Amino acid sequence: MASGTTESRVPSAAFALSLASGVIIIFWGIMPWLFLANFQASPMDGMMGGMMGGGWGAGHWFIGGWLFPLSLVAGAMILFGAIMMNARPQETRIWGVIVLVFSIVGFTGMGFSILGAILGIIGSIIALGERNGR
């Protein structure tokens, strides 16, 4: 190319899939918090008035209480990896490994987070297969 012109770069499939993965995992990581923030468990919920951890609020938090933040962190790291994969195409394989690791961690989420994790794994495999940053 002549000097003074900018090279137009087409985003790769690895970038697109990884970006979609990060957005889906973050979105579905936030959804339970938004839903449960509006739901107050009453003392009468569940068995024995909620004392045994029954009821929707307590049971739902027990099933995935600490997994929600973990999936949010995984989604953020996937999103960061996807952006860096596009910004620094010569380092696509490094960012592909990061996306792969955090996509596996993304399986800790519930609902459509699993779809996001699968998309991230596919995107990272494509990134690992690319030669010299496209």
2 token code pair = 């002549």
User: pLDDT tens digits, residue range 73-96?
Assistant: 999 999 999 999 999 989 999 999
User: pLDDT tens digits, residue range 32-78?
Assistant: 677 666 655 555 555 544 444 444 444 444 445 566 788 889 999 99
| Residue ranges of E strands in the chain | none
Q: State residue 51's pLDDT score.
A: 47
User: pLDDT tens digits, residue range 85-126?
Assistant: 999 989 999 999 999 999 999 888 777 788 999 999 999 999
Q: What is the dihedral of CA 123, 128, 130, 132, to 10 degrees?
A: 130
**For residue 30, what is the DSSP state?**
H
**For residue 132, what is the DSSP state?**
S
If you search the block for the tokens 């690319």, which residue do you land on? 130
The gap from C-alpha 98 to its chain's centroid, in whole angstroms, comes to 12
Task: Centre a 10 Å sphere on the Cβ of residue 107 and count the other Cβ atoms it contains.
Answer: 18
